[in-house]
């Protein structure tokens, strides 16, 4: 099987448009039709029955991004010695990679929730601090955040949420007034996105923001806020089973100042920041500060080793990535 090398001539974003965008209003294809199309374009199969079973489970269109760099840029056909089994290999790596990252983000989300509750509650001396708009930068966003918190709490199926609402005579999901649960209760049901937005809207560079950032090994709340936004987007992608393979992220995490002995040898390149490598490195760094004994790095390295032919630069893991302190 041909080893696929990194493309440098034409950005893959343009290739996707060249090969995919023109394919519209086509007739549905049977599994046999799909195999015939791939064969006619030059793809080989070690086991056609296995390929049909795979296509019966995984949408043909979903797989297209996994073979985009296997195509000849001039003809649109497959390069020499391209096998469907190589595509399966890429897909399976991406799936396993996403599962590891999703578990890691769960750990991070619980840790972030705990530190927000602890820091704000102890600093203000009340469990209802989230209602105080003086702690937040933008009053409109604060109101939106509180109503979102109450909406998520009201939709929760957790017994503690259902019991609180049932026993509270003046619970009002659409108002600040009435009975409101303490932060350690209501924030327990908050989504990662809500937590990220709440942290970002705390008074800019306030002692509270800075204290939480330091808990995660960062000096700047702007750095943590940027990372949390990127991680929230990553989490939503994985939750909806979206691929990470050759994914360009709309939110790119900022480079941080210092910490090169625990982070990266040098600032992330733009390509690393817009691919999975950047935001996954951020997840790993934050969790290392929560739990230095975590095994996330080892799990990722093991998955990559089980798929040695897969070009992980398509995830932003370029040559020399293991030389960075965080990945050693």
pLDDT of residue 23: 55
Helix (H, G, I), strand (E, B) or coil at 292: coil
Residue 200 to residues 30, 79, 195, 242, Cα–Cα distance (Å): 49, 47, 9, 26
Place of tokens 């199969």: 45
Contact between 233 and 280 under an 8 Å Cβ cutoff? The reply is no
pLDDT of residue 227: 98
**What is the CA angle 96-98-103, rounded to 5?**
100
Residue 82 to residues 29, 77, 79, 120, 316, Cα–Cα distance (Å): 22, 10, 6, 56, 22
Contact between 313 and 246 under an 8 Å Cβ cutoff? The reply is no
DSSP annotation string for 74-124:
TT-SB-TTEEHHHHHHHHHHHHHHHHHHHHHHHHHHHHHHHHHHHHHHHHH
Residue 51 to residues 36, 63, 162, 311, Cα–Cα distance (Å): 12, 12, 48, 21
pLDDT of residue 18: 44
Buried b (16+ CB within 10 A) or exposed e, 26-60: eeeeeeeebbeebeeebbbeeeeeebeebbeeeee
pLDDT of residue 11: 45
> CA–CA separation, 93 vs 87, rounded Å?
10
Per-residue confidence in pLDDT tens, the chain, 328 aa = 544 444 433 344 444 444 444 456 678 889 999 999 999 999 999 999 999 999 999 999 899 999 999 999 899 999 999 999 999 999 999 999 999 999 999 999 999 999 999 999 999 999 999 999 999 999 999 999 999 999 999 999 999 999 999 999 999 888 888 899 999 999 999 999 999 999 999 998 789 999 999 999 998 999 999 999 999 999 999 999 999 999 999 999 999 987 778 999 999 999 999 999 999 999 999 999 999 999 999 999 999 999 999 999 999 999 999 999 999 9
Two tokens, residue 165 = 């609402």
Which is it for strands 43-44 and 82-83: parallel, antiparallel or unpaired? parallel
pLDDT of residue 28: 82
User: Which of 164, 236, 162, 166 shows the shortest CA–CA distance to 194?
Assistant: 236
Contacts for 74 with CB less than 8 Å, ≥ 6 apart? none
């Amino acid at each position: 099987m041909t080893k696929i090398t990194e493309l440098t001539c034409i950005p893959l974003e343009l290739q996707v448009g060249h090969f995919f965008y023109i394919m519209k209003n086509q007739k549905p294809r049977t599994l046999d039709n799909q195999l015939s199309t791939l064969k006619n374009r030059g793809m080989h199969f070690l086991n056609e029955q296995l390929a049909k079973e795979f296509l019966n489970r995984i949408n043909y269109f979903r797989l297209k991004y996994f073979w985009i760099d296997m195509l000849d840029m001039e003809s649109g056909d497959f390069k020499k010695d391209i096998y469907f089994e190589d595509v399966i290999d890429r897909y399976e790596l991406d799936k396993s990679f996403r599962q590891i990252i999703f578990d890691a983000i769960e750990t991070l989300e619980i840790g972030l929730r705990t530190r927000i509750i602890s820091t704000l509650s102890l600093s203000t001396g009340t469990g209802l601090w989230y209602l105080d708009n003086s702690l937040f930068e933008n009053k409109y966003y604060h109101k939106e955040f509180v109503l979102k918190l109450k909406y998520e709490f009201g939709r929760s199926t957790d017994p503690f949420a259902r019991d609180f609402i049932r026993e509270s005579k003046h619970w009002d999901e659409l108002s600040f007034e009435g009975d409101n649960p303490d932060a350690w209760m209501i924030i327990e049901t908050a989504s990662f996105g809500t937590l990220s937005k709440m942290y970002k809207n705390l008074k800019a560079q306030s002692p509270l923001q800075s204290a939480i950032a330091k808990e995660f090994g960062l000096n700047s709340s702007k750095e943590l806020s940027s990372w949390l936004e990127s991680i929230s987007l990553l989490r939503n992608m994985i939750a909806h089973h979206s691929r990470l393979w050759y994914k360009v992220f709309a939110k790119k995490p900022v480079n941080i100042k210092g910490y090169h002995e625990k982070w990266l040898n040098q600032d992330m390149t733009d390509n690393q920041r817009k691919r999975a490598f950047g935001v996954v490195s951020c997840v790993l760094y934050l969790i290392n500060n929560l739990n230095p004994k975590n095994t996330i790095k080892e799990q990722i390295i093991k998955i990559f080793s089980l798929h040695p032919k897969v070009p992980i630069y398509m995830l932003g893991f370029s040559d020399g990535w293991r030389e960075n302190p965080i990945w050693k």
